A and B are shown apart, each in its own frame.
Chain A
């Protein structure tokens, strides 16, 4: 296998999957087998070991499918797509993320592009993303530093830290919404809590757009 980036499809019904994307790494699989396809993709299938460990070059695109078990992606990956039912998901760094599942914690370190996460009851934490699109039913959503964000939850709490005057949209039914903008920001805002409390400490202006709506939660927007 060459040291250029790879496109990997990793499939495992249950058990841990660990992927390490590192500079100069050739593709290596421990705990499973791999097959190179004519279209350039590589199918990785698990054997019987507790951990399926895959080493691949930096920037490799990953499609990971499991029913249960933890998924750890370490190093600098390319696009990462994950479908799972349960199990914690951790992605250190990727150019884009699409992750879907039911339960388990989700943690993304840095996503330089769009980070799309759809989980039912998981808490979702994204340290840094150019764009975050997140939906949960009951899981809390915490975005550390994002450019743009579009977030929906039924009853989870939303916390968004913006790193610039981007477009931020947060909607919940009963969860609270906290949005923190850089100091001195003057965003255009549209905030509505049907029966909850709204607090906006920012002056109005044109530094991006903040839209937040809840049915019964509270909304707080700060610029600090």
Chain B
């Protein structure tokens, strides 16, 4: 058995929407530019207690020790992506997250909660941040952040539906 440890924190997935299409239309150099923009923005924005776990093609897997930090950071990232986006090269990113206890295996994280965070991301629109209700509960009240319950969602491989919440910035 490989050595793993149980860790508690927030798992965040990002994904560039339309990446395959952009690559097809504009070639690999443009695709690479988009990836580099995303990663640079994310790395610049990550606070202490957060890290890029790994790159996943056109997305990233991130780890945050604290859900109270993860949610505002994800919303801030969306604003930065929107700012970075232009008509020639749209940077449409969807973000999904889940607070849980995955297993750390070296620098990587694995387990049910990681899979769940990825499925939550699948339901997000470009520019949106979706999280499980448990993430919002863990974070509690956050200044400048609102939550809209979206109802439970069935996720492949998980028996019971998982309550889903949309996080949004409040002016």
Interface residues of A (CB under 8 A from B): 9, 11, 13, 63-67, 81-85, 98, 100-102, 116, 118, 120, 133, 135, 137, 152, 154-155, 171, 173-174, 192, 194, 213, 215-216
24 A/B residue pairs, CB under 8 Å, sorted by A: A9-B152, A63-B152, A65-B153, A67-B154, A82-B151, A83-B154, A100-B123, A101-B123, A116-B125, A135-B125, A154-B21, A155-B18, A155-B21, A171-B90, A173-B25, A173-B90, A192-B87, A194-B87, A194-B88, A213-B87, A215-B22, A215-B25, A215-B26, A215-B87
The answer to whether A215 and B88 touch (CB under 8 A), given A11-B152, A83-B150, A173-B22, is yes
| B39 close to chain A: CB less than 8 A | no
Complex interface: chain A residues within 8 A of B150 (CB): 63, 81, 83, 98, 100
B18-53 toward A: CB 8 Å interface, digit per residue (1/0)?
100110011000000000000000000000000000
Contacting residues, chain B, for A194 (C-beta < 8 A): 87-88
B18 CB contact (under 8 Å) in A85, A133, A137, A213 = A137
Given that A65-B152, A152-B92, A215-B25 are known contacts, is A11 also in contact with B122, CB under 8 Å in the complex?
no
Nearest-Cβ distance from residue B153 to partner chain A, whole angstroms:
4
Q: Which residue on B lies nearest to A212, using beta carbons?
A: B87
A35 to chain B, nearest CB (A): 15
**Residues 140-171 of B contacting A (Cβ, < 8 Å):** 148, 150-154, 161, 164
Least Cβ–Cβ distance between A125 and chain B, in angstroms: 18
In the complex, which residues of chain B have a beta carbon less than 8 angstroms from the beta carbon of A98?
148, 150
Give the CA-CA distance A64 to B151 in the complex, in Å: 7
| CB–CB B154/A137 < 8 A | no
Contact A66 B154 (CB under 8 A): yes
Judge whether B17 is part of the interface by a CB distance below 8 angstroms. Answer: yes
Q: A135-B125, A173-B21, A174-B25 known; A65 and B87 CB under 8 Å? A: no
Would you give the shortest CB distance from A170 to chain B, in whole angstroms?
12
Contact across chains for B87 and A154 when beta carbons are under 8 A apart: no
CB of A116 to closest CB in B, whole Å: 8
Q: Closest 7 CB pairs between A and B?
A: A63-B151, A154-B18, A67-B154, A135-B125, A213-B87, A118-B125, A83-B153
| Closest beta carbon of chain A to B55's beta carbon, Å | 21
A36 to B131, CA, bound (A): 27
A residues within 8 A CB of B126?
135, 152
Whether the pair B161, A65 counts as a contact (CB closer than 8 A) is yes
Question: B139 near A: Cβ within 8 Å?
Answer: no
Cβ of B124 within 8 Å of any chain A Cβ, yes or no, is: yes
**Minimum Cβ distance to chain B for residue A182 (Å):** 26
Chain B nearest Cβ from A25, distance in angstroms: 22
List A contacts of B92 (CB < 8 A). 152
Question: Considering only CB atoms, which chain A residue lies closest to B148 in the complex?
Answer: A98
Alpha-carbon gap, A186 to B169, bound state (A):
33
Known contacts: A154-B17, A173-B18. The answer to whether A215 contacts B151 by CB under 8 A is: no
Measured between beta carbons, the chain B residues less than 8 angstroms from A137 are 17-18
